[in-house]
Amino acid sequence: MITRPMIRASRLCTRCYATGTSTTPPMLLKIRKDMKTAMQNKDSNRLSVLRSLLSQTLNASKTSSPINTDMQMLSLLRKSANASKAASEEFKNAGRQDLADKEDLQVGILEEYASDVVVIGEEEIREAVGKVVEELKSDGDKLAMGDVLKRVFGPGVLGDKPVEKGDVARIVKEMLAKP
């Protein structure tokens, strides 16, 4: 039989280990808050989308790359939206307009949350990439895409800022293609 002091000790240990150093991204906090609101308003479509997102973030937290930033959350939102768009097309081709409409509604909700994440604009990315390319040219180094990307995502340039890595890679490729 477990005595009372043992229960208290186990609760204390649990509390000590439960506090982590990882920070929760603001987007995830907003999704949790909106899920409670959706429950209160009995909005089943929004609730199912938000539950799905929280489930995906929980699954990601058990892997080697948990979701710790809004950019990672944005990536998850876009991935989910693309999957819902593909499912909607499949349902339309199969003649199931009711299911296609449901998927389209989910895409709308996911894109609503994705639009809340603020990312750096293309002009600022072009400016930063242009500076790095000019630095590498002046140093006499051979311009390789990997070297440029390392410098761009390094500290001081775009490393800490919320930026779409795919957009940066596209812009680097464009700038390196110029004579």
Tell me, which fold does domain 22-114 have in CATH? Hypothetical Protein Yqey; Chain: A; domain1 (1.10.1510)
Higher-confidence residue of 111 and 179: namely 111
Q: 35-61: per-residue pLDDT in tens?
A: 999 999 999 999 999 999 999 999 988
Please give the backbone phi and psi of residue 103, each rounded to the nearest 5 degrees, phi first: -65, -40
Domain ranges across the chain: 22-114, 122-177
Closest CA to 133 of 150, 109, 119: 150
Global pTM reads: 0.67
Q: State what percent of residues in the chain have pLDDT above 70.
A: 82
Q: 110-135: per-residue pLDDT in tens?
A: 999 888 877 777 788 888 888 888 88
